Structures are given as structure tokens and as C-alpha cells.
Amino acid sequence: MSNAPTLDGIKAVRAHLADLGYKRGQSTIYADAKTGLLRPTGEGGVYTLDDVERYIKATRLKKPGAIDTKSDAWTAQKRKAELEDLQERAALRRLARREKEGTLIDRAQVESDLADRARLLRAGLHNWARREVDAVIALAGGDPVKAPEVLAAWEQAIDGELDRYARAGRIDLEQPL
């Protein structure tokens, strides 16, 4: 006969588990004994402390509030991934809202539009100069006294071209002369 402490039934095993800080229902322990997770190895069919330790390991019992580092690490990773996903979705919603509000502008499109407008301005001024060269020569008549008249005519013509350039919306280009 050994001098090791023994537990003479399921109720005693449950009480010992409770003393160790584990929570396990009596019916669950009975079911585990029936399936072989808890087996008595002591003389006369009693449970030894080693049997209870094997049972704790076999069922992976955790004390209430005990930290499972593997599952906690996984949970932390999962929460981090969920947070990143939520942040990404929020950013996409903000982007979609800005697009609906019209505050979001495609940079490439703006640059392309500005380049088109600059080409239009250049072409417009060149066309104007070609169209008006004879009138400018006739207006000035080679006389420096008429320079203010020529300057006013040029400024008026340039303002007309710039107004057309600055207008919002689609711009139809003229064919050069």
C-alpha cells in the first residue's frame, strides 16, 4: 500500500480540482470518467493525485482568469487585423464620400486638363496674332504716336483669348490658320 493521498470518488476529485482553483461540473467529470479521460489507477479503484494531474492535462483545464499565451497571442493578432481592416474600410468610406461630394479630384486628370488649356491658350494667341497682324500694322501705320491704340487693341484681344481659356467646362479648339 502506498502512502500517497487518494481520492475515493468523482465528488472528491471535483473538490480537489476546486481546491486547486479549477472549475469543472460534476456531471462533466462523470462523463469524462466514462469516456476514459479520468481513470483511477490507485488500489481499489481510487483516484490518485497523479490521475487528477493527467486529467487536468488531458482536458486542458484552465483556471478562471488564467492567461493562455498561445490563444492570447492569436487573439491579439486577430484583433489587430480586425482593427486594421476597420481602419481601411473607414478610409475607403471617407474616400467614397469625398468623391460623392466632389472634393476628390484625380490629379492626373487635372494636370491633363491644365495642359490642354495651356495648349489652347498658346494656339489661341498664335491664331489671334495671325488673324490680326494686318489690322495691327494698319492701325499703327508705323506711327509711334498710335502705340497706345495698338497696345489697347492687343490687350483687348488677349483678354478675349484668356477669358475663353479661363472658362469652365469643355473648350472647343479652333483650327490654326
- 126 in the same domain as 86: no
Q: In terms of pLDDT, which residue wins out, 168 or 44?
A: 44
Q: How far apart are CA 110 and CA 29, in angstroms?
A: 73
Contact between 41 and 51 under an 8 Å Cβ cutoff? The reply is yes
- 31 in the same domain as 50: yes
Q: Give the residue carrying C-alpha cell 465528488.
A: 11
Q: How far apart are CA 54 and CA 3, in angstroms?
A: 19
- Read off the pLDDT of each residue in 21-27 and give the average, rounded to a whole number: 89
Q: What is the pLDDT of residue 43?
A: 85
Residue 176 is assigned to a structural domain of this protein: no
- Read off the pLDDT of each residue in 35-60 and give the average, rounded to a whole number: 89
Residue 101 pLDDT class (50, 70, 90 cuts): confident
Residue 177 is assigned to a structural domain of this protein: no
- 100 in the same domain as 111: no
Residue 167 pLDDT class (50, 70, 90 cuts): low
> What domain range is 49 assigned to?
6-59
Residue 171 is assigned to a structural domain of this protein: no
Domain count, the chain: 3
- 48 in the same domain as 27: yes
- 112 in the same domain as 160: yes
- 113 in the same domain as 139: yes
- 128 in the same domain as 114: yes
- 33 in the same domain as 20: yes
- Read off the pLDDT of each residue in 46-67 and give the average, rounded to a whole number: 85
At residue 62, does pLDDT exceed 90? no
Q: What is the pLDDT of residue 144?
A: 66
Residue 1 is assigned to a structural domain of this protein: no
Residue 173 is assigned to a structural domain of this protein: no
Query: Taking CA 78 as the corner, what is the angle to CA 74 and CA 81, rounded to the nearest 5 degrees?
Result: 140
At residue 172, does pLDDT exceed 70? no
